[in-house]
Chains A and B, each alone.
Chain A
Amino acid sequence: MLFTLEETVALINEGKALHIAADDSLLQKLPKGNWIGGSTPYFISEDGGLFTKERLFVNELDFAEEIRIAEYGKYNVFQIVEEGFDNGLTILIMPYGSEVAAKYSKEAPNVEELIMHPTIGWISGFELGTAGEAKVYNGSTGQAFSDKAVAMYIRLPKGKSAMINMINIFSDDKTDPVIRFSDNELSVRKCTVNGQEVDFADYIEKKGIDPGMPLVADYNGAYINTSIKGVENGEVSFYAPVFKDIEYRFATHVDDYAAEFISRIAEAGARQPVLSFNCILNYLNGALEGKKIPPYTGPVTFGEVAYQLLNQTLVYCEVLE
């Protein structure tokens, strides 16, 4: 929930294990302690979506029996699969635009052991339309980074498990053309459409495809989005990579984004998520400012992690017996 700076400092000084999201101007003022943090001024609170640089979103991780905190660069970020607790949960925060986030986004789906370690997280950001810099914080040292990931490893009590899930409003139409890419890339010029190589930017333009619709890949009924960041000089860039050997289709059009999002929230039926991270594109396109979406409260993010990097989704974690 949202706290003032003074209230957050008090929680840290009590020695609580905390996950904190706030504008960087507030994170800079926090004392050392058992916390990790990431920058964003957008939130979904109990009172609805809001933009604030005056309060911090704090998750008290009371279910943790033990925590460890570490930071990683692009060369060692996948040590997270070796360093987590056997029965645990890993929270991972990476700065938007960082090399470590790019590395993680490209390689996470191919890291064999990752799925055996419940990992949830988000990409930190800044106020849109400003020249802000995304930051992450290792509260145990007080250090801030714009080029490293920070991880908190949480040991769960025996008999409890972390279950990570997502809410995604997009799906595909199996009669639409299949799009494939030749490599794992964050930007592309070429792709194949039903097996025929085409210029992807031309294809989008000629077919009149709305680039606000993500590409979706069907992972056994779980649709994973890849959102288009921009189309410039014949190159199509993405917020998360496309992968070779994965079939994509453009998501079917959503007439009323906000209504669809609220409907999917109601269907998901999570009881007591302990963490929840919602994409800035959902916040903007779903007109979530001022809207309540209980029980999902948390930071609004520039990317979500549920094992791998996701786009345009809400990810959440429940700790269940």
Chain B
Amino acid sequence: MDAVVQEKVEKVLRGELKYTSTNLALNMMISKMQKRLQADAGSMEACMKEMEAFMAKYPIVAKVDLANIAAL
């Protein structure tokens, strides 16, 4: 994940940018990370690691959704 995309993803997880995927698993994942960050604002690094693992697991999602998030 390059720096620009990473910054946008972090904003989505903090709720500063709104992004809804057409993919159920990604929406569940974002929702889960948002709740974790609401409970512990210092957990961004761990959240991003999980997001990266998720994107590695679902390359189709990574290709489409990361491009969409980058364009926000």
Contacts and interface: CB of A to CB of B under 8 A. Distances in A.
A116 B31 contact: no
Contacts of B22: 165
B28 A161 contact: no
A266 interface: no
Contact of A221 (B27, B57, B58, B59): B27
Interface residues of A, number: 18
B interface, by DSSP: helix, strand, loop or mixed?
A: helix
Nearest to B29: A115
Interface string B21-53: 111110111111011000000000000000001
B60 A116 contact: no
B58 A306 contact: no
B2 to A, nearest CB: 22
A220 B59 contact: no
A320 interface: yes
Contact of B34 (A118, A220, A307, A320): A220
Contact of B25 (A164, A218, A221): A164
A137 B54 CA distance: 32
B68 interface: no
Nearest to B56: A116
Contacts of B59: 161
B53 A116 contact: yes
Nearest to A308: B28
Contacts of A220: 19-21, 27-28, 30-31, 34
Contact of B27 (A118, A161, A219): A219
Contacts, number: 50
A163 interface: yes
B31 A219 contact: yes
A115 B59 CA distance: 14
Contact of A161 (B21, B29, B58): B58
Contacts of A165: 22-24
A118 B29 CA distance: 13
A166 interface: yes
Nearest to B19: A220
Interface string A202-243: 000000000000000011111000000000000000000000
Contacts of B24: 164-166, 222, 306-307
A133 B53 CA distance: 41
A255 interface: no
A82 interface: no
| Among B21, B30, B60: residue with most chain A CB under 10 A | B60
Contacts of A256: none
Nearest to A166: B24
B25 to A, nearest CB: 6
Interface of A: 115-116, 118, 161, 163-166, 218-222, 245, 306-308, 320
Given A218-B31, A220-B31, A222-B20, 12 more contacts: A115-B32, A161-B58, A164-B24, A164-B25, A220-B19, A220-B20, A220-B21, A220-B30, A221-B20, A222-B24, A306-B24, A307-B24
